[in-house]
Structure 1
Amino acid sequence: MSSNLKDTSMDKLVARNSEYHYYSLPRAAKQLGDIDRLPKSMKVLLENLLRHIDGDTVQVEDLQAIVDWQRDGHAEREIAYRPARVLMQDFTGVPAVVDLAAMREAVQRLGGDVDQVNPLSPVDLVIDHSVTVDEFGDQQAFGDNVRIEMQRNHERYTFLRWGQQAFNRFRVVPPAPGSVTRSTLNIWARRSGMRSRTANASPIRIRWWAPTPTPP
């Protein structure tokens, strides 16, 4: 039923002579039940699960639990949420990279393929909590502060650079460009994305929408 629900829920959008495919909640509701009273936040979770049904990490029962939640606002079942992108700053991001490195070491000891250990979702790590002001009041202050910061955090930055080269779907933004908020708005802000998927030997493009804030 997993693959059947996923396949029957796919719909098509044609825009400017381009064809995009997406997973339609109204189509999924024909099998899962009425979702009109679901809050929009729950519909976001439902669409996320629908896109990632694989019969293992996400099952049809997970989607059904969200639909059934409408009855009394309570559900015992845990669901797996897979975000389209994870944004981290260095205080929380470095421990995550350490965990991934430790997992690779464990896989290597067991004789497995370490290249299989990667983030499931794209990760952007922005270094903005290591910035301190040591020099000020002249035109060279910014450059001096960056140089001092690089020296002070050399070991940590070297480790993060290794992580960017070692892991798939993992990018590091150096400290100079600015904070997490500025990097998000100026570099990565987008309201929709697209990925390719092959079904029945025919490549198709899957369109998804993300509630990313835009600058005022």
Structure 2
Amino acid sequence: MANPFSSRISLETAAGRLDAFSLPALERQGLGRVSTLPFTLKVLLENLLRHCDGYHVTEEDVAYLAGWDPVAGEQREIAYMPARVLLQDFTGVPAVVDLAALRSAMARLGGDPKRINPLIPVDLVIDHSVQVDRFG
């Protein structure tokens, strides 16, 4: 795990050691007034910091968001890599059907259908009646 801006900290808990990234460390290094950022931007900033690899997310990306100025008017894309995706049944069921169709196509073409999987963990919440023919 990279340690951009020397921001990674370790915490000892009863469950073992946990690694986290310190947003105040960015402010101490003069990257911006991180403590005054809106909460949603702090979440995005921590995500950038956690995934800063110099390729998908660069230190420049982290510095840009840490120094965000609401009146600057500059718009810039940033990477976002969620830890998981939560799907409600209305959107999740079609996604599961798409995955099943892709796996079937892969098998028909002689490939390994087990290679068709989401890259990010997905939780599907079903809040309506659903018939299950098979489960696993």
> Do the two structures share a fold, i.e. TM-score over 0.5?
yes
- How many residues were matched structurally? 132
Q: What's the CA shift for 1:23?
A: 0.9
Quote the offset at 1:77 in angstroms.
Answer: 1.6
Offset at residue 14 of structure 1 (A): 2.8
| TM-score in terms of structure 1 length | 0.48
Amino acid at match of 2:7: S
Runs of 4+ with deviation above 6 angstroms: none
Amino acid at match of 1:84: A
Q: Calculate the aligned-residue CA RMSD, in Å.
A: 3.3
Give the letter aligned to residue 80 of structure 2.
Y
Q: Is residue 20 of structure 1 aligned with residue 32 of structure 2?
A: no
1:52–1:58 CA contact under 8 A, matched in 2: yes
| Aligned CA distance change for structure 1 residues 4 and 38 (closer, same or farther; 3 Å) | same
Larger radius of gyration between Structure 1 and Structure 2? 1
Instruction: Supply the distance in 1 between the matched residues of 2:92 and 2:117 (Cα, whole angstroms).
Output: 14
Unaligned runs of 5+ in 1: 132-148, 166-216
Q: Which residue does 2:9 correspond to in 1?
A: 11
Measure the CA separation in 1 of the matches of 2:125 and 2:95. 13
Counterpart code for 1:24? S
| Identity, % of aligned positions | 49
- TM-score normalised by the chain length of structure 2: 0.70
Instruction: Give the Cα–Cα distance (whole angstroms) in 1 for the partners of residues 20 and 55 of structure 2.
Output: 21
CA distance in 1, matches of 2:34, 2:42: 8
CA gap 1:63/1:116 in 2 versus in 1, 3 angstroms: farther
TM-superposition CA deviations, 1:2-52 (whole Å, max 9, x none): x4516x211122345943221111223326333132112211111111112
